[in-house]
Every structure is written in C-alpha cells, then in structure tokens.
Chains A and B, each alone.
Chain A
Amino acid sequence: MLTKRIIACLDVDAGRVVKGVQFASLRDAGDPAELAKAHAASGADEIVLLDISAAHQRRATLLDTVRRTAAELFIPFTVGGGIRTLEEAAAVFSAGADKISVNSAALADPALITQIAERFGSQAVVVAIDAKRSSSKGSWEAFTQGGRTPARRDAVDWAREAESRGAGEILLTSMDRDGTGAGFDCELTHTVSDSVRIPVIASGGAGGAQHFVDVFRDGHADAALAASIFHYGFSQISELKQELAAQQVPMRWPC
C-alpha cells in the first residue's frame, strides 16, 4: 500500500539550519548535512531543504550545502529557495538534489516549470504554493516573495496550471496556519488535492500527531511537511510515525 509521507523541512540561512531540531546525538545542530542524516535515520520519508538566505549570500553557500547534505542521504532530497532559471536548477541537480522546488520564479514565468520538466522529468519538479485565505469564502490567493507579495492568482487555479505545465508535485503551504501549530488547513489542502491528479504535500500549522491524521484523512494530502514541530512534543519522527501507524494511517514504519 502506498504510504503517506512525512517530510522533514530544513530552513537554511547562509548554510546553517535555523529553527533547528534538537538531536542529542549531533555535534552540530545547525549543520544541514548532519540534521538531514539524523532525520533520515529517525524515519523521515523525504528531506526538503529550503534556502531562505538573502539573495547575495545564496549563490556562495547553496551548492556546497546541497552537495554535503546529499552525500550521505539515501532518501529523496528536494531543494528550493530562489531558483530562478533552468541553469540554476541544473546546478542544484548536479550538486545532488533529486527534485527542485520553485515558487516565485514559476509564478513570474510559468514556462520555467515546463523547461525543467522537459530536461529533468516531471518527477523532479515541485511547485511550491504559498496560499492565503481571501475574503471570499472557500478561496485562497497565491503569494510570492516568501509570502510578502500577493500574486493575484487563485491558488487552486494556479495548482491546476502548474500540473498542466509539467509539475510533478505541489507543495502547498497555508500562510494562515504556518507557524501557529494550530493544525494544517485541511479545507485548503483537500480543495487543491481534489483539483489535481498529482500528489499534494501539505505544509504549515503542524502542532501534533492528530494534525497529521486530520490532513491525511480530511485534507486528502499525500504527504505532510513540517519543520519546527519536532521542537514540541516529538523529538523524533519515529515517534510521530508510530502514533500515526497506530491510528491506521499507512506509514513506512518500521523503515
């Protein structure tokens, strides 16, 4: 049976993980390579590395960070944050990423999705959508520039277009829930998930095991991503997966 994926996200600034997870075994809790390896050992199904560095710092550190992180990782590895061109994507792939995630650049130039998909395959292209609830009921707007700028695009409509242009997965972040720990936005997630045929990764709002159960059952998510939840309640992904497996959510457990 196809399992629901638990994805650990590393937010990286200038080569260091911010909001890092505390693993007692690590020498350096800010090192992306060490953290990724620890998450994989603990049962993460996938690792996403999101570079949140300022643009001028990004080029210098990102490829080196990707190379070091990929070196000992044997689960799927997605890299996102500031990838604007096919050439930049190609460099990130050759450093060891399996998939790249594009957000603002794809909204600015949707043909970028097709260009990357044609060269590296759709399975390698994740389109990240930052969605915020709009004033009209049951609709969400996509935002760019790390959630700072409204894209004037309906999020569901944009997800459909991304699929038709060759995206292999949608990484859907609820801006309303992100950082709150109040649970994923199941309404947003199932609205998008039911509108496309490609897998949808839910993100934003994870605060406990029940939130994951809810987003898989009610949100129709194929995968769920979290970063800071592992600060609160769960020191290890293995604990979360055991609890979800006990609630009959199909999990890769034991790994």
Chain B
Amino acid sequence: MIAIVDYGAGNLTSVKKAFDWLGYECAITSDPAQVAKATKVVLPGVGHFASTDVLDRSGLRDAIADAIARGIPFLGICVGMQWMFEHSQESPETRGLGLFNGECERFPASVKSPHVGWNSLQINPASRLFGGVPASSFVYFTHSFRAPLTDATAACCEYGGRFSAAVERDNIFGVQFHPEKSGEIGKQLLRNFCAL
C-alpha cells in the first residue's frame, strides 16, 4: 500500500486520484503507524514550507526517516521535495529532513514569481524515475521557492537560473513539479515510481 502523507497542507485529492487511476492501492494518512507499514511513501505538499513543522510534532518525520532507512521508496512532491533539503528561505527556522545538502531559495526579481506553468526539463539519462520519459519533456510547476542543483539532481529546469526539478538517490526521489498534473509524462513518472 502506498501511504500518501497528509500533514494538513493543501489538497491531496488529485495525488490520490492519480494513483487510483493507475491502479495502485493507496491511502491518505496522517498516522505514523500507517506510514511504518507502507510499501511506498509519498509526501505531497502545496503551500508554505513552515507547514512541514507538523511532521516533526506528529511523529511523521521519524516514521518517514525510518521508512527511508529501511529502503522503502519515498517520493516528495513540491514542498515535499523541498523538505528533503536542509532548509528553505521561506521559513528559516523550519528543519528539513536534510537528505540533500543546501537551502531552497526565492526566485530572483528578474522573473515573475510564483513560477507557474509548463516548463521543459533536462533529464539525466541514468534516472530511474524518468525511465521512458522523452528528453526535454514538459511538466507543470507552481512554486515560489526552488531547490539548488546537487549531484543527486535527476532533472533540472531553467527559470531565472537553473534549479533542481527532480532529485534521485537510491530509494529517495523528489519532484518540484506536479506529476499528477503533468499529463501523460506525469503518469509515466508515477508508474515508474510505483513499479520500483
């Protein structure tokens, strides 16, 4: 069962709907015990980085860290991916999980913010998450902060400078864009994650 972690940030309907449509069993949960039993864990997230503070208080942070340590495939989406880094300028006192080094930062004043719409990716051909996804595919973004490039960057995107659109290492994956809103490309990516 895929656990979709609910920490009260935004609307998880469309994430669940996508897994349902693909035919994978999933459940929205805020219970650390459910996360502990899951075969895969998805951390969606829209809204503010500070909303991830709930993960600390509810025991979900430990349940997620423990699942990752056991090799359970984990996917962070949008703010869920940003939380995989150490910090975000959006809420400097909030602690990310620190799986990747660096801090999420604001877009420069030279571009409109939030970054909303379909942007093209440069995909690392070795990525498992992007298996079968054509090079320079378009995906749907909506965010005001962005993650830096790292050696785990699986796809990068250009908007007022280059940033990590996706990260990938061992059993941990993160996407800044919304696969559940990115048409056929997004479905392929979720299928790849489900098949891990």
Chain A residues near B (Cβ < 8 Å)? 1-5, 40, 45, 70-72, 74-76, 93-96, 98, 120-124, 168-169, 197-199, 222-223, 252, 255
Chain A residues with CB under 8 A of B17: 70-71, 96
A94 touching B181, Cβ below 8 Å = no
Interfacial residues of chain B within 39-61, with CB under 8 A of chain A in the complex: 46-48
B79 CB, min distance to chain A CBs, angstroms: 9
B118 touching A252, Cβ below 8 Å = yes
Cα distance, A168 to B117, chains bound together (Å)? 12
B176 CB, min distance to chain A CBs, angstroms: 13
> What residue of chain B has the Cβ atom nearest to residue A43's Cβ?
B183
> What residue of chain A has the Cβ atom nearest to residue B109's Cβ?
A197
A120's partner among B47, B118, B182 (CB-CB below 8 A) is B47
B140 touching A76, Cβ below 8 Å = yes
A230 CB, min distance to chain B CBs, angstroms: 19
Chain B residues near A (Cβ < 8 Å)? 9-11, 13-14, 17-18, 21, 46-48, 112-120, 138, 140, 142-144, 158-159, 178, 180-184, 186-187
Cα distance, A47 to B159, chains bound together (Å)? 24
> What residue of chain B has the Cβ atom nearest to residue A76's Cβ?
B181
B46 touching A75, Cβ below 8 Å = no
Cα distance, A53 to B182, chains bound together (Å)? 30
B183 touching A123, Cβ below 8 Å = no
Secondary structure at chain A's binding surface: helix, strand, loop or mixed?
Answer: loop
A74's partner among B9, B114, B182 (CB-CB below 8 A) is B182
Cα distance, A5 to B138, chains bound together (Å)? 12
Cα distance, A123 to B177, chains bound together (Å)? 13
Knowing that A72-B21, A74-B183 are A-B contacts, what are 10 other residue pairs whose CB atoms are under 8 Å apart, sorted by A's residue number?
A: A74-B18, A75-B182, A75-B183, A95-B13, A121-B9, A168-B116, A168-B142, A198-B116, A252-B118, A255-B184
B146 CB, min distance to chain A CBs, angstroms: 13
Cα distance, A223 to B119, chains bound together (Å)? 13
Chain B residues with CB under 8 A of A4: 117
Cα distance, A198 to B117, chains bound together (Å)? 12
